[in-house]
Structure 1
Amino acid sequence: MDRYARWNALLELLAESGRVTVEDAADKLDVSQATIRRDFDQLAQQQMITRTRGGAVANGVSYDLPLRYKSAKHSAEKQRIGEAAANLVVPGTVVGLNGGTTMTEVARALAVRPDLNTSGEGAQLTVVTNALNIANELLVRSRMKIVVAGGVVRPQSFELVGPLGGALLKEVTLDIVLLGVDALDVELGAAAHHEGEAAMNSLMVARAKRVVVIADSSKLGGHAFARICPISKVETLVTDSGAPAELLEGFRDAGVQVVCA
Structure 2
Amino acid sequence: MNTHDRWTRLMDLLGDRGRIEVAEASRLLGVSPATVRRDLEELARQQLLTRTHGGAVRAGVSYDLPLRYKATRRAAEKERIAKAAAALVAPGSVVGLTGGTTTSEVARALATRADLTAAAEGGPALTVVTNAINIAGELAVRTHITTVMTGGVARPASYELTGPLAAAVLETVSLDYAVLGVNGLDLRIGASTVEVGEASINRAMAVRANTVVIVADSSKLGRRTFATVSSLAEIDVLVTDADAPPEMVEALTAMGIEVHCV
TM range (shorter): over 0.9
Q: Partner residue of 1:156?
A: 157
Farther-moved stretch of structure 1 (175-184 vs 17-26): 17-26
Stretches (4+) displaced over 4 A: 120-123
Identity within the alignment, % = 53
Deviation at 1:187, TM superposition (A): 1.3
C-alpha deviation, 1:238, in angstroms: 0.6
Match of 1:138 in 2: 139
Shift of 1:121: 5.7
Tell me by how many angstroms 1:122 deviates: 7.3
* 1:173 CA displacement: 0.2
Whether contact under 8 Å (1:151, 1:164) holds in the other structure is yes
Contact 1:115 1:123 in 2 (8 A): no
1:214 matched to 2:215? The reply is yes
User: Which ranges in structure 1 are unaligned for 5 or more consecutive residues?
Assistant: none
Question: What is the identity, as a one-letter code, of the residue corresponding to 2:234?
Answer: K
- The 3-state SS of whatever aligns with 2:72 is coil
Deviations 1:86-106 (A, max 9, x none): 000011110000111111111
What pairs with 1:227-242 in structure 2 (closer than 5 Å)?
A: 227-242=228-243
Cα drift, residue 147 of structure 1: 0.2
How many residues end up aligned between the 2 structures?
Answer: 261
Farther-moved stretch of structure 1 (81-90 vs 57-66): 57-66
Q: Hey, what's the Cα distance between the residues in 2 that align with 1:258 and 1:107?
A: 20
Equivalent residue runs for 1:1-261 within 5 Å: 1-60=1-60, 63-117=63-117, 118-119=119-120, 124-141=125-142, 143-261=144-262
Answer with 139-148 or 236-245: which moved more. 139-148
**3-state DSSP of counterpart to 1:237:** strand
- Choose 152-161 or 6-15, whichever is displaced more: 6-15
AA partner of residue 188 (structure 1): I
CA distance in 2, matches of 1:180, 1:70: 13
How far residue 166 of structure 1 moved from its aligned partner, in angstroms, is 0.8
CA RMSD of aligned residues (A): 1.6
Compute the TM-score of the two structures, normalised by the length of structure 1. Answer: 0.95
Question: Which amino acid letter does the alignment assign opposite residue 231 of structure 1?
Answer: L
- Paired residues of 2:182 and 2:193 also in contact (CA < 8 A): yes
8 Å CA contact 1:104, 1:137 repeated in 2: no
- Alpha-carbon distance in 2 for matches of 1:110, 1:3: 31
Does the CA contact (< 8 Å) of 1:236 and 1:258 recur in 2? Answer: yes
Point out where structure 2 has 5 or more consecutive residues left out of the alignment.
none
| Distance change (3 Å), C-alpha of 1:195 and 1:187 | same
Flag the 1:90–1:51 CA change in 2: closer, same or farther, 3 A.
same
- CA-CA distance at 1:72 after TM superposition: 1.4
- Distance in structure 2 (CA, Å) of the matches to 1:152 and 1:120: 35
